[in-house]
Structure 1
Amino acid sequence: MPAYKHQYEKQEFWGKDWRHNTSGRMSAIKKFFQKKKLDRKFKKAGEGHKLTDDTRSDHHVTQIDATQHQPRSGMTNEQRRAAEAAMMRNSTKNQAQTEASMLAKVRMRRELEEERKAEEEAMKMAAHYREGPKEVVKESAPVLSHVLYTCPDISPMVSSKAEIEVQIEEFLLGQLADEPGMASSLMIQTLNKDKEKVKVCVDTLSKYLDNLISNPSEEKFRKIRLGNKAFKERVGPLKGTDEFLQAVGFKLSKLPFKENEVDFYVIEEKEAGRKEHLETMKEYLNTAEPIKPQLDRAMKLFHPSPLVSKFDIPAEFYNISPEELKREQQRRQEATEKLGMLRTKAMRERDEQRELRKYRFVLIRVKFPEGIILQGTFKAVDKLSNLFEFVRENMANDWMPFDLVSGGQKLTEQDMTLAELGLAPAAVVNFTFDKTILADIAAQQGPSQNNVLKPEVMAQIQDL
């Protein structure tokens, strides 16, 4: 029987029958364990003392001991100072990181705002030019109505790109009678815009020729079914392929195929045995280069004018289409997301490339020391070397060294595009050279030869 039962039976705490008194029994057990806890606490506290005893000395000693023997969780003064210093360093570091992040966000906002303004201005200009000028400036030369093209190998004609392309196709069709192999090869390369499809087509036709050269008597290599999947996808849809196969010696015929008659290109064994002819046709096919319209510089020369920096840019100069406008709007929506992250170098480069792709053409005015203005049209992807060539080919003495200056800086990166140099869509650059060279030329050839530009170029000068 438990000890606490005997104890409380002596005190008659349980009543007459403690076994059947459930509430009294549970209360007694609870009080017993509470008393045990109090006993343990008093034992830990040590011996007691009377209220009349002097305990000041003992309290003093306890305080000294507490100072000398601090609990393990406490810190010494040195440790506390070290901890405070560490906290200060962390606080300073966190503050610096926060400031750097804030500065980065401010820079991003500024860059995005500048980009937005530039894009809005470009879009406004493009919209304005699509609508047409609202004012007509009288008594001035037309600066640039639209972009013109030419193809010197075919004709001296200068016109729109579409008209020049039609002229090129007519020229190639006219050459089929005299040079069918070369003309049809040029048609494949010139009249089809998708260069990847052209490459696949050329490879497929070359394979047909290789099979004939190696096995002229093999009947299966002397027939090409027009309904064949490879032919339908790789050769049939492209312009010039029918003319090329006929130039090789193939003829269209209907032959039985799966209980029906279908169209085939068929070449006779005698024609397939002309190895030299087949090799020549393959060489034409693989070496032909597309004939492309060339951008006409639309060279103009103007008298000195205060309007040198005023440009009337055609809408064709801009790469802005409805689809691109939608992309620009999407980009503006995404701009807010950029504020929440740092822009990496790769991200900035992609933004720059998007900016460069806005422009197709560049209008450049070269201002000479005497104020004369030489104007030319360029592609945005043309390099600085193309601008130097344009100036040099209009100079009376093309051997003369010269510099071109924009924004107070010499333009020296010959391999950079005009768009990358910040000259798109229009810019004025200054022509500079060593004046002593011009003085020497004047001394040797006379004052009449003092013009930098060719006489035939000077004869075209007009008012801006």
Structure 2
Amino acid sequence: MAAIKRFFEKKKLDVKFKKAGGGHKLTEDTRSVPSVSAARGSNVTVERRARNAEETRKAAEAALARINQPRPGTGKGGPMPSLRSQIKEEMKTVAEGRATADLYSVPKEVDLEGAPVLAVTGVFFKCPLIGSEVLPKTEMEASINEFLLSQLAEEPQMTSALMIHTLNKDTEKVKVCIETLCKYLDNIISNPREEKFQKIRLNNKAFQERVLPLQGTEEFLQAAGFQKQLLPGPKQVEEDFYVLDEERAIDVEHLKGLKEILLTAEPIKPELDHNTKVFYPSPNANRIQVPESFYNVSAEELKKEQQIRQEAVEKLGMLRTKEMRERERQRELRRYRYTLIRVRFPDGILLQGTFRALDRLKALMDFVRESIVLDWVPFSLATSVGQKLTDEQQSLAELDLAPAAVVNIEFDKSVMSQIAAEQASSEIRRYLKDELLQHLEYI
């Protein structure tokens, strides 16, 4: 396990160095001279926003601290001063430096001519271990494959073990393969000088069925020290064997380490990228069309199936039992692979992200919390018809949020009113982080 951790830590460090770009001489002047417009424009704006964000955070924390304190006369320290007077006093300096202009403005009219039909062009994935690229799943899997091949010469034992776990999709076959390889190693570890255990016949049925068809197995055996040789087989006819020389066979600790690597390695998997987007308020928020990759069946098949079922119900007047309804419900859930969620904020701004249909509500809640400025403020989500979403362990499909949905966010009113009071404003002007607001789009 320690070897696996060191491998991944080294690769992550390599990725960071790649992102840092090219090097420079110590005698070089690496300072860049910004243009006047940049200095007066984007840089000043970013600094001001960062300063305002910090002030808002401090104001919010102060408000929450006041709310959580005992009411006047109830604490051990005796009566407390007025909450409002405390807040005003503590936030006086913050209020003096508060920005007066909105961070963004929304035009009254938006020209939607030529807007894309699909809300997203597809589903995208990332893999931080191999770089910062975001690609469709097949392309990302190809990149992972290329990454492993590129590491094979440098770390043959570790990389070949990762190849077995990563490049073969049938987990049951991978399990059987690993058990078989471990059996080969165990036989040598227990009998390091027994010649018969140092050879693996390629035509052996178990080897042909359990090991040879899987990617990475030949690389692993070669990394372990096995070499192909022609030797007499059971019928005294020369056959291909993998043979481990005696010197490597008696190195028991090395073989134990190989077995540990094989057992503890885990597949390198692409991670779903949320493909985060932020939109201005729009009456088109509920018009969401997703690509066919969001479905396990094609849109045409889905429509045809629903039509057939509806006709059957109408024709037979079918009364469905609870069990029948549950079966049908499970079929519905399995139809969706992904779902597109738009979260509408009180100011109308929409935060959009892509999720797996079987992701829990908690994944959506975490996504929202990572995107907002006041990430400690309690909030809840509700559907467009007002249904509260409370069970964080339910999947998005179970909550009828697949293949697409718009939900509304509501922050704790008492906390938000205190924050607004500290900022001497009737409402909170900004909910999402600046790095998101800088990329506002039109639907």
TM-score by length of 2: 0.69
**Corresponding position of 1:434:** 412
**Distance (whole Å) between structure 1 residues aligned to residue 401 and residue 350 of structure 2:** 16
Give the alignment partner of residue 138 of structure 1, picking from 114, 117, 127: 114
Question: C-alpha offsets along residues 137-184 of structure 1, whole Å, 9 cap, x if unaligned?
Answer: 425797311111111121110111111001101111111122212111
Residue aligned with 1:364, SS: strand
1:295 has 2:272 as partner? yes
Structure 2 residues not aligned, in runs of 5+:
1-111
Answer yes or no: is 1:461 the counterpart of 2:440.
Answer: yes
Q: Which residue of structure 2 aligns with residue 413 of structure 1?
A: 391
Kept after mapping to 2: 8 A contact 1:141/1:462: no
Q: Which residue of 1 aligns with 2:34?
A: none
The equivalent residue for 1:391 is: 368
How far 1:260 sits from its partner (Å)?
1.6
- CA apart distance, 1:342: 6.1
Asked whether the equivalents of residues 122 and 291 of structure 2 are also in contact (C-alpha less than 8 Å), the reply is yes
| 1:263 partnered with 2:261 | no
Partner residue, 2:99: none
* Cα distance change on mapping 1:224 and 1:325 into 2, 3 Å: farther
The counterpart of 1:350, out of the listed 327, 332, 354, is 327
Count the aligned residue pairs: 329
Matches within 5 A, 1:27-426: 137-138=113-114, 143-257=119-233, 258-320=235-297, 328=305, 332=309, 339=316, 343-406=320-383, 407-426=385-404
The C-alpha deviation readout for 1:170-211, integer Å capped at 9, x for no partner, is 111111122212111110011001111001001111111111
Residues 198-254 of structure 1 deviation map (CA, whole Å, 9 limit, x = unaligned) = 010011111111111111111111100010000000000000001111111111111
Show CA shifts across 1:367-395 (max 9, x none). Answer: 00110000000111111000001101111
Quickly say closer, same or farther: Cα 1:454–1:322, change in 2 above 3 A: closer
Q: SS state of the match for residue 401, structure 2?
A: coil
- After TM superposition, which residue ranges in structure 1, 4 or more long, deviate above 6 angstroms? 322-327, 445-449
> Cα gap change, 1:142/1:425 in structure 2, threshold over 3 Å: closer, same or farther?
closer
More helix by share: 1
What's the counterpart of residue 104 of structure 2? none
Deviation at 1:319, TM superposition (A): 1.1
Identity of aligned residues (%): 58
SS at match of 2:132: strand
How far the C-alpha of 1:328 sits from its partner, in A, is 4.6
Higher relative contact order (CA 8 A, sep 6+): 2
**Contact 1:226 / 1:265 at 8 angstroms: preserved in 2?**
yes
Q: Residue 292 of structure 2 contacts residue 299 of structure 2 at CA under 8 Å; is this kept in 1?
A: no
Other structure's SS at 1:376 match: strand
Is 2:118–2:290's contact at 8 Å kept on the other side of the alignment?
no
Q: Could you say if the C-alpha distance between residues 331 and 274 of structure 1 is closer, same or farther in structure 2, counting changes exceeding 3 Å? A: farther
Gap regions ≥5 residues in structure 1: 1-135
Give the SS at the match of 1:366.
Answer: strand
Amino acid corresponding to residue 195 of structure 2 in structure 1: E
Mapped to 1, the partners of 2:315 and 2:214 lie a distance apart of 45
CA-atom RMSD, angstroms? Answer: 2.9
Q: Which stretch of the first structure deviates more once superposed, 270-279 or 378-387?
A: 270-279
**Alpha-carbon separation, structure 1, partners of 2:244 and 2:304:** 52
CA contact (8 A) 1:254 1:261 kept: yes
2:118/2:289 contact within 8 Å kept: no
